[in-house]
Amino acid sequence: MKLAIEQLHRALKAGHRPFKPGEYEIDCPMCLERTRTPDESHNLGINLLKGCFHCWRCGWHGGLRDLVEQLDREGLLDTPHIDLAEARRRLAKVAPPPLPLKPSARPWPPGTVDARTSRCQSAKLALAYLDRRGVRGAFLERLRPHVTEEPPVVREDGKRELDFRGRALLPCYLAGQLVYWVGRTYGSLEPKALNPTFPADVGKPIWGLDDIEVGGPQVICEGILSALPFPHSVAVLGDALTPMQLALLLSRAPSVITLAFDPDAAGRAGAQRASKQLVDEGFNEIRIATLPEGLDGGDLMQRGLLSEIPKILGAAQRYKLTDLARQLSGGPVRW
């Protein structure tokens, strides 16, 4: 059995391409022992999502959890090197995947202007606040903050719209359309973040998705300012992914997804949930970044610690086969 497990392990590490997301076919290492003839037609199927394996020739089968535990005991299990990045990039160049929806445009509040070009007092205060947060240069150009100095309108039903005066409005675009914004106070207003309702046809959107290269990497963060200093980054506006956000992220055919959630209990729990969601969708090129305790991406930017970001991404741990098996079987994931 030990020889069979070693052969299986080497076969996975050799990089056999999956025929479906999360499923692999390789030559069965037990066929020679069971049928006296070797398998040469990739009859052993390994399903990482269902957590099982089965040889359609000799009948060798079992649960992935037991197999992984034995591999762990033998000290043989490393992350299997099954790299789909190149295949995804080629696919994206041939046929860029469409977004799973066509969002409706959302109008700005009355009197909204681009803070980068306006000379009004609100724009000056908003830019001064963002500068204190380390948002300048290329970061400011990507953020595209807006402000308004006009009072909210009164709707036909007599209700007033939200008052976004005294806030930097950070826009969220999807397929070139403004669909949402986050209103961050640049003074002493409460609450610190005032946001409109989520768009009905999108739900909770994703900031920065339009900037992501199709077929390239993605870094997923919680908040907009947390995501801003990371390359290839998006913000999911919270520590949980909705089904639509998941579809939007995967519609860009990412080569690898790095989860860089906030370094607190909620962020770690959110990263574990998100990794499980990605695995359920058949995506297994996942890495988990560990940020310094108590600091998110926005804090690193504000404190002038941008040189730490390449180190953080470089040290991101790949989501391992053992993590997947433990999560599928209800056990804890260790990162």
Number of domains the chain is built from: 3
128 lies in the same domain as 265: no
Whole-number pLDDT of residue 82: 34
Looking at the DSSP assignment, which residues form a beta bridge with residue 172? Answer: 180
Indicate which CATH number applies to the domain containing 181. 3.90.980.10
> Range of 173's domain?
107-201
228 lies in the same domain as 189: no
Whole-number pLDDT of residue 179: 95
Q: Where are the alpha helices (DSSP H) in the chain?
A: 2-13, 31-35, 64-74, 85-94, 121-132, 138-143, 224-227, 243-250, 265-280, 297-302, 308-314, 321-328
95 lies in the same domain as 114: no
Nearest partner of 226 among 235, 217, 218, judged by Cα: 235
Q: Cβ neighbours of residue 288 under 8 Å, at least 6 residues apart?
A: 258, 259, 271, 275, 316, 317, 319, 335
Whole-number pLDDT of residue 121: 96
28 lies in the same domain as 72: yes
148 lies in the same domain as 58: no
Instruction: List average pLDDT for each run of 10 residues in the chain, which is 335 residues long.
Output: 49 49 67 79 72 82 66 47 44 61 90 96 97 96 96 83 95 94 93 92 93 89 96 95 90 88 90 85 84 92 95 85 47 44
What is 72-88 written as a DSSP string? HHHT---------HHHH
77 lies in the same domain as 125: no
69 lies in the same domain as 119: no
Whole-number pLDDT of residue 41: 78
Neighbours of 117 (CB within 10 A): 7
122 lies in the same domain as 175: yes
Whole-number pLDDT of residue 72: 56
129 lies in the same domain as 211: no
Domain closes at, from 201, 228, 256: 201
Strands 218-221 and 177-185: unpaired
94 lies in the same domain as 117: no
Whole-number pLDDT of residue 17: 46
123 lies in the same domain as 140: yes
Indicate which CATH number applies to the domain containing 53. 3.90.580
Domain closes at, from 201, 223, 243: 201
328 lies in the same domain as 260: yes
